[in-house]
Amino acid sequence: MTAETLYRELNQIRREMTEGRDVDDAFPDDDPGAMVDRVRALAEGNEYPSGRPVGRAGQAFAWDQFDAQLLPRLIGKVEGTLAGTVNTAGIRATFIGAKGDLAERTRMFSDQLLAKRPCVSISITGNPRRLFVYGHSMAASLSVLVHLPGSPLHAATVTQRTALMSSCSDAHRLARSGDWVHMAGAPLVPDADPGCVLLPNSLRHLEEPLRRAGYTEVEFVPVEQITPAVIEAVLEHAVPAAIHCSGHVLNSAIALVASRHGMTVRLYGANGKALEPWAASQMICEAATSGHPYLQGLIIARYATAALQIGRILDEDRAGETLNDRE
């Protein structure tokens, strides 16, 4: 319900921006007094709400307000949808994301895990302003982590185009029809384009080694947008592999979701290993409660062979960096 509510609300925000208000619709609250006040304000030249600057400053103010209100709006919608829902012990879940900075929200999530209390963490990955200003579907996504005492984590990733949900045993995808499809644990698109790979901008120096390995189409995205880009390109379309840089634990739902949706998820580094869904859940919980709430970089690929090949390229690059440091 959480993932579906978030998906629908993201699209509702988009509709509000693109479709506008019908001329036959009443003014907000259907209040004749409010209509009179608005007409009077326009007649007096006060086109903007009280407190809003005019011109360019007013436009910047509007988008700053949008950024500040997005997560509270989304989480408020989820709380309304799940109002009255309790676990088997009769305990309501705590919703994390509407208040506090990243560090404060991490502490809240950690406290709930350690206290074995149900909670839902919702975090934005990427740049939501680029999503709504430019319409770039790979600009932002939502990372959802759900803790139910006595079981591994549930996770979901939500974009404007899709919602993917996973536990350690099941994977579901929200279809365009609005129905949840129980996935078989295999990639959505059967055949990937073998020459494509996706990387964050910070790894541009790996382009030549990857081309020599047969990846003729190397796509780069800003570091902050790597999660929504992986969802769009690898999980939803036909890119066979991506390198996902280290990220904050509250933004890490992609690790569990990709693993259960048929991808090989491999830690990169000298001792990199493939992560099964239960291991991804455990890794997220340990990072959240360890005082160092970050995950290692990941290789997310359709095939284990591709993950190993890219892993070797990364390891060779890191070994070269170490050698240069020693010299």
Q: Is residue 65 classed exposed, middle or buried when 0-12, 13-18 and 19+ CB atoms within 10 A define those classes?
A: exposed
What residue ranges do the domains of the chain occupy? 2-42+54-179, 196-326
Pick the closest to residue 131 from 99, 159, 162, 173 (CA basis): 159
Q: 315 by DSSP, 3-state: which?
A: helix
Domain boundaries 2-42+54-179, corresponding CATH code: 3.30.540
Domain 196-326: CATH class, spelled out:
alpha beta
Same fold? 2-42+54-179, 196-326: no
Per-residue pLDDT at 265 = 95
What is the b/e burial string over 239-268, where b = at least 16 CB atoms within 10 angstroms of the residue's CB? bbbbbbbebbbbbbbbbbbbbbbebbbbbb
Per-residue pLDDT at 327 = 42
For Cα atoms 26, 29, 35, give the angle at the middle one, nearest 5 degrees. 60
Per-residue pLDDT at 323 = 41
- pLDDT average per 10 residues of sequence, the chain (327 residues): 89 82 53 54 53 80 88 88 66 87 94 94 92 90 94 94 93 89 80 94 95 96 94 93 93 95 84 87 95 92 91 84 47
* 9/15 Cα distance (integer angstroms): 10
Pairing of strands 247-248, 241-244: unpaired
Say what the pTM is: 0.84
3-state class percentages of the chain: helix first, strand second, coil last, to nearest 5: 45, 20, 35
